[in-house]
Structure 1
Amino acid sequence: MNFDDFIFHIIELIAALSGSYYYLMTKAQSVRPFIWFLWVIVFVETFGMYGYILLNNYDNEIFIWIKNSVFCRNTWLYNIFDLSTLFFLGLFFKRILKINVSKKLVNFIIVFITCSTILYFCLSGNFFRASIPYDFLMQTLAIFTFVLLYYYELLSSDKILFFYKSPIFYLSTGVLLWHLSVSPLFIFDGYFYEINKDFIEFQSLYLLIANILLYSCYTFGFLYTLQFYKKQSVVKK
């Protein structure tokens, strides 16, 4: 594991711990799916590092079996993670949306992408070898729709006056901006990855900066808005 990976894991863990702390202090049910999502990220990114271990040669039957099996690459793990991302974020936005039409649209998007993904892997047999083409683009479009629905309801209610007091605004804005900013990298990744080392270095640095900003936004959203909940609790007493 290089230094960039270490930094990435640390900021992920800090964001997940911040979300858990916020929930313990507030018991806010609306953010629970997002906190689950953060811990799933921590688990997947940690467990997915088994690929580094497989770079070695150990005289162990289990190790040799894994290294010679379809699990030698962690592609299967991240294919599952892509679907879980859509599920947890969809559940998160369903909890905060109030309009039934918006909730139904979220359900439709989740079911459509999930069924399309499963169908693709069943027909192609690439589950252990490659991700679905343009999966990140589909995920970005889905999240873009979820956040727009949230913004629409926010602008249509009195909550717009106090948007800065809710972690939901920071979480949804952070995940939207991250997907919009890194999508071009993944769209053109296939054209440059094998032939352009400069692009690989730029992509790694760009993703590191984008991830630091993203998880810092999550951490800020949880810890900054916690003060407003505490003040509200004091006033009620």
Structure 2
Amino acid sequence: MSNSLMAQHMVELIAAIAGAYYYFKTKDHQIKIFVWYLWLTVAVETIGMYGYLNYNNFDNTIINWIKNSVFSSNTWLYNTYYLASSIVFALFYLKVVKDHLSKNIIKFSVLIYVIFTIAYYIISGTFFTKSVPYDILLQTLLVFIYVMLYYKQLLKSDRILYFYKLPIFYISSGLLFWYLCVTPLFIFDAYLNLINADFIKFQRSYLLIANTLLYSCYTFGFLYTVQYKKH
């Protein structure tokens, strides 16, 4: 495994630990599901490393079975993860937003996304080989809707006066920043990834920076705001 991937796993693990520390210190139930999501991310990234087995010639019955099965690629794992992430984000913001209309918008948008994604995999039969085309655009749209609804609520409440004390603000800002920054990269991925080695190098470096900023934002949000949250 490359040093960049190891560094990415480390910042994800640190963010998960910081989230767990925040939760155990505050018992903030709004944050609980997001902390679980961070640990899910760590687990998926760890399990997903089995994909590197394809680059090595191991003489092992189990490994050979995996390499010759539909699980040879870890695409199925990340397809499941992306779908689960969208549901987790929806559940998270359903706990955050208060007004009835915002909750209905979140429920409707995630339901449409889940139905569309499952239907696509059933019809195309590509669950083990590739993701939904332009899935990143759909995920970005969902995150944009959730975060904007949260910002709207924040602006209308007294919490805007001490937004810097709220971990949800840092989570939302990090999420929105990450999706808006990486979406253009993935849009051109299908056209440049196979023919441009320089693009692949740039993509890896760009994602490492974006992921480091995202999980650092989570970590800072948890560790900085814990002092303002009473048990």
Interval of TM-score (by shorter of Structure 1 and Structure 2): over 0.9
Partners in 2 of 1:50 and 1:173 — Cα distance? 32
1:16-55 equivalent positions in 2, closer than 5 A = 16-55=16-55
TM-score of the superposed pair, with normalisation by structure 2 = 0.98
Which amino acid in the other structure matches residue 34 of structure 1? F
CA deviations on 1:14-71 (whole Å, 9 max, x unpaired) are 0000000000000000001111110111000010000112322223222211110000
Gaps of 5+ in 1: none
SS in 2 for 1:54: helix
TM score, norm. by length of structure 1: 0.95
Give the aligned partner of residue 185 of structure 2: 185
Mapped contact 1:94–1:103 kept (Cα < 8 A): yes
Tell me how far apart the structure 2 counterparts of residues 63 and 164 of structure 1 sit (CA, whole Å): 49
Q: Which residue identity does 1:114 align to in structure 2?
A: V
RMSD: 0.9
Matching of residues 69-108 of structure 1 within 5 Å:
69-108=69-108
Can you list the C-alpha shifts for 1:109-142, whole angstroms capped at 9, x where unaligned? Answer: 1110000001001110000010000111100000
Figure out how many residues of one structure are paired with residues of the other and give that number. Answer: 231
CA contact (8 A) 1:20 1:35 kept: yes
Measured in 2, the distance between the counterparts of 1:59 and 1:45 equals 24
After superposition, give the CA deviation of every residue in 1:192-214 in whole Å (9 maximum; x if it has no partner): 10111111111111111111111
Q: Distance in 2 between matches of 1:55 and 1:196?
A: 21
In structure 1, the residue matched to 2:199 is 199
Distance of 1:36 and 1:104 partners within structure 2: 24
Q: Is the 8 A contact 1:36 1:88 kept in 2?
A: no
| Unaligned 5+ runs, structure 2 | none
CA distance in 2, matches of 1:169, 1:58: 47
1:57 maps to 2:41: no
1:142 counterpart residue number: 142
Q: Percent identity?
A: 54
